[in-house]
Amino acid sequence: MTQEEETIIVPGRWDLPFRHTAGRVVSHFFHGLKEKRILALRCPRCQRVLMPPRPFCERCFLPLEEWVEVGQQGTLEAFTVCYARFTGLPDPPYCLIFVKLDGADTALQHLLREVELEDVERMKEAVRIGMRVEVVWRDEREGGIQDIKYFRPVA
């Protein structure tokens, strides 16, 4: 194999469904969502409230154990409007946002709905950094991130 060979491409598709444990922290967070409560964890040293919750503070490297409930409204920190189709996501166009919920110091990613996305000029008026958004809950919740159906602008 001293001379350069053409790379062979083998076509294929892997469909790998799987299940795994959510762990202690995410399980508690999901149980809260089932009850329409959004729970976060506070760092004992820097006092940041981390949402989504995680088992340790990535700044202080301390374990987190103090659960706090954060608000169901927040501020849009970042967004992107997707016009391409991706597996497992809604039909385009849709808007992915990072929202910092009231009482939290970090942002949660989710969908923004009830806004104009078809017309780009109207979308630029409807969606903006700093706007206030609120949770819309699913009627039947199962204990998962999709219990939050989406976020919408605060009226």
Domains of the chain, by residue range, sit at: 23-153
Distance CA 132, CA 140 (A): 25
Given a contact cutoff of 8 angstroms between Cβ atoms, the answer to whether 99 and 74 are in contact is: yes
Contacts with 121 (C-beta within 8 Å, 6 or more apart), sequence order: none
pTM (2 decimals)?
0.86
CA distances to 12, 16, 32, 92, 94 from 86, rounded to whole Å, are 18, 17, 29, 9, 11
The pLDDT tens digits for 15-66 are 888 888 889 999 999 999 999 999 999 999 999 999 999 999 999 999 999 9
Tell me the torsion sign for CA atoms 86, 91, 95, 98.
negative
The residues facing 99 across adjacent strands are 76, 108
